[in-house]
Chain A
């Protein structure tokens, strides 16, 4: 008895914590490879294909290189903030993963293994709040470098992220209206009961959220804060070695986080597709977290696809898009959704 108690009380939580730390790293590695190969293929290039089968080991080689690189901090940088910035970014995205449910609870005998570390009645807000904390890493990183390009990148990033947080908040509200909860697990459960995913019920919300989410993660076509043709590398220009790697990993972790949010809020999380069609009932045999992985891989692929397809926005257009199109659209959508919810 004591033995199982030790397993359930200590080993499993510790295991989960390790998993939550490893999961974004793993996804980063997959994403780096996927991104480089896919973009290369879309641009009629080959991309990395030398290290390992089809270049699959290339990310490891990159990581190894960064690990061995000298850690440079130039003299005029602010020493404390320069070091704190990458930690802040990494910390907030890793912490947010604690609240993301990766699959339905698995029953082992009498024990129920939940595929999340913490279920909070305000989970959705927590994840959004923590992702807004990661902005500080970007700002401090840019400011502490005490150099022109990073500062420009950081300034752009503040304006961009603050602007795009508003449509995100407004669209999230419309989901919350239907789920009647801001608990991520409850939101998925509600979609399983309703037998329809919110993405199909609230298409406008989904589209607005997805566009804003791309902007929040500073990805193309909204990658102004790190636009290489204008700002070298934006806020992390002066970083090298592992500190740079932290920014890099955190960016991908953020993408994974946002994709998870999209999947959970709009596409049923770990639920199998076609719940209404009896012919597809066999799909339920496949475990929930596999479905979850498939879905987020789709959205991660979408990230890459969009990056390879669309040219970069100009900065004023980017802000205009947020304030003159997305926010009014989100407000209107919010109003309509509220009305529908009221009538139903």
Chain B
């Protein structure tokens, strides 16, 4: 059952990401991306990390993608890059992609099986994650708050109307 679900979610994730890249309609791409995030959430759930699964859905699918779509709706994007320029870009991208894929396949083949499937991993329950965040990873957690301040102030500086503008 878990295997079946795994392949279902994996197929959905890969398929929808492909759809996102291929689709020429930005709104479709956004929809595909939402599906991809939801399937990733499912994969996290299967790995016994329900908190990660939900966070994946709430933050990525629920909040970030909504803003993406908001922008897509507000700005009418054109058809994108012209066809002739696209041809060689696509060729180059496919070429590089194949090289990267081969590289990773080669690398993964050399790797011995990593123990993960079926085992209950430590630090996946919400309580456990909270505890880790506030003990072992307190420093990165606090730095994140500086990061958010920087992003907020930075955005406001660039867009806020000043007196006399």
Contacts and interface: CB of A to CB of B under 8 A. Distances in A.
Indicate yes or no for A touching B, C-beta below 8 A.
yes
Interface of A: 78, 80-81, 84, 120-122, 125-126, 128-130, 132-133, 135-136, 139-140, 143-144, 151, 154-155, 158-159, 161-162, 165, 182
Contacts of B126: 121-122, 182
B73 A162 contact: no
Contacts of B38: 133
Contacts of A158: 66, 69-70, 73
Chain A interface main SS type:
helix
B70 A155 contact: yes
Nearest to B59: A129
B54 interface: yes
A126 B28 contact: no
A136 B58 contact: no
Contacts of A154: 73
A129 B57 contact: yes
B61 interface: yes
Contact of B62 (A135, A140, A143, A182): A135
Given A126-B54, A133-B57, A154-B73, A140 B31 contact: yes
A161 B65 CA distance: 13
Interface residues on B, range: 20 to 34
Given A125-B58, A129-B54, A182-B126, A81 B27 contact: yes
B99 to A, nearest CB: 34
B125 interface: yes
B20 interface: no
A132 B41 CA distance: 14
A144 B31 CA distance: 12
Nearest 10 Cβ contacts at the A-B interface: A132-B62, A129-B58, A129-B57, A125-B54, A122-B50, A122-B54, A158-B70, A139-B69, A129-B54, A126-B54
A283 B65 CA distance: 47
**B34, B54, B63, most chain A CB atoms within 10 A:** B54
B67 interface: yes
Contacts of A143: 27, 69, 73
A121 B27 contact: no
A181 to B, nearest CB: 8
A157 B149 CA distance: 27
Interface in B26-72: 27-28, 31, 34, 38, 50-51, 53-55, 57-58, 61-63, 65-67, 69-70
A165 B55 CA distance: 14
Given A122-B50, A143-B73, A162 B66 contact: yes
A162 B27 contact: no
B74 interface: yes
A121 B129 CA distance: 13
